[in-house]
Chains A and B, each alone.
Chain A
Amino acid sequence: MGDHGRRPPDTVMNHGTKVKTVLDRRTAQTFVELADTLVVGFDVIDFLQTLAERCVDLLDVDAAGILLADPRGSLTLVAASTEQARLLELFQLQDEEGPCLDCYHSGQAVICPDLAASPQQWPRFAAAAHQGGFAAVQAFPLRLRDQVLGAMNLFSAGTGAVSPDRAALTQALADVATIGITHERTLRRHQLVTEQLQHALNSRIVIEQASGMLAERGQIPVAEAFALLRAYARNHNERLSAVARQVIDQDPIVAELLDSAPA
Chain B
Amino acid sequence: MDGQRSAAVWTAINDHARAEGAAVSLEAVCLVCARTLHAQGVSVALNGPLTGYEPVCGSGAVAHRSMDLHVTLGEGPGHDALAGDRPVLVDDLAEHEARRRWPMFAPAAVRAGVRAIFVFPLLLGAISVGVLEVSRAEQGWLTPRQVADALVFADAALLVQVQHLASPADADGADGISAGEEARELRWESDGRWAPVHQATGMVAIQSGTDLSAAFVRLRARAFAEERSLLEVARDVVARRLRFEPD
Contacts and interface: CB of A to CB of B under 8 A. Distances in A.
Contact of B195 (A72, A88, A217): A88
Interface residues of A, number: 40
Given A206-B126, A248-B212, A92 B195 contact: yes
A251 to B, nearest CB: 13
Interface stretch (B67-75, B199-207, B220-228): B199-207
A262 interface: no
Q: Is the interface of A mostly helix, strand, loop or mixed?
A: helix
B91 interface: yes
A215 B84 contact: no
A88 B3 CA distance: 21
A210 B206 CA distance: 11
Contacts of B203: 212-213, 215-216, 222
B152 A212 contact: no
B86 A198 contact: yes
Nearest to B192: A74
Interface in A159-211: 189-192, 194-196, 198-199, 202, 204-206, 208-211
A244 B88 CA distance: 24
B5 A73 contact: yes
A71 B190 contact: no
B190 A202 contact: no
Contacts of A205: 124-126, 198
A72, A104, A199, A216 pick with most chain B CB within 10 angstroms:
A72
7 smallest CB-CB distances across A and B, nearest first, come from A212-B202, A205-B125, A208-B198, A73-B3, A71-B148, A212-B199, A216-B206
Interface of B: 1-7, 84-89, 91, 123-127, 141-142, 144, 147-148, 151-152, 155, 190-191, 193-195, 198-207, 212, 238
8 contacts: A71-B2, A74-B1, A191-B141, A191-B147, A199-B84, A212-B199, A245-B126, A248-B126
